[in-house]
Amino acid sequence: MRKNFSKKAVLLPLPVYVIGTYDENGKANAMNLAWGVQCGYHEVSLSIAREHKTMKNILLKKEFTISLATKSTKDIADYFGIESGNKVDKIEKAGVHIVKSENIDAPIIEEFPLTLECKVIDIQEELGDYRVVAEIVNTLADESVLNEKGEIDVDKLELITFDSLTNSYRIIGEKVGQAFKDGAKIK
């Protein structure tokens, strides 16, 4: 027997992204965002509320970074979702280190081991907020999260996910199968 939960959006896992931007004065800002998804081979789609400083910065600069939160960066990522960049200098308060991207006009937060550099393709007003579609122009990974072949190692990253049912963070677990292969047994 199943139980009805009305309109409860149980779409798990949700990512924990930290979106980095610069404002009109070149001051870095960051926000925590869970409503984002890969929407093409080299594209991402984000849903961002209009009142966020990050959204204002994206409308201005048309470029941003996405850092993926990890077990070791959980507290910083969570802080970036608690405070408003309209009221507080979150970068200074968090004590993180910023490096300007070589490819776009957006900050890289050194504490996060994996960062995507993005350029806006399209921005649409949707449901009172914004849907931002962007091209990933470069991916930066710290050597600490690479395997012996120099490739990104998901296990070393220790990525976290947002659990909207319990308002908690969970670590992404072990590999359980091989995509585009395991289902062939059913053919």
At 10-38, the pLDDT tens digits run 888 999 999 999 999 999 999 999 999 99
| pLDDT score recorded for residue 88 | 96
pLDDT for the residue 128: 86
Tell me which CATH code domain 14-186 carries: 2.30.110.10
Q: What is the pTM of this model?
A: 0.95
Which three-class secondary structure state does DSSP give residue 121?
A: strand
To which H or E segment does residue 60 belong?
helix 53-61
Contact between residue 38 and residue 56 where contact means Cβ atoms under 8 Å apart = no
Distance of alpha carbon 119 from alpha carbon 63, whole angstroms: 5
What residues form DSSP beta bridges with 116? 66, 139
101 phi and psi angles, rounded to 5 deg: -60, 145
State the pLDDT at residue 9: 85
In which residue ranges of the chain is pLDDT below 70?
Answer: none
Per DSSP, the three-state class of 23 is coil
Q: Give the HSE-up count for residue 11: Cα atoms under 13 Å, Cβ half-sphere.
A: 8
Helix (H) or strand (E) holding 105: none
Q: What is the pLDDT of residue 10?
A: 86
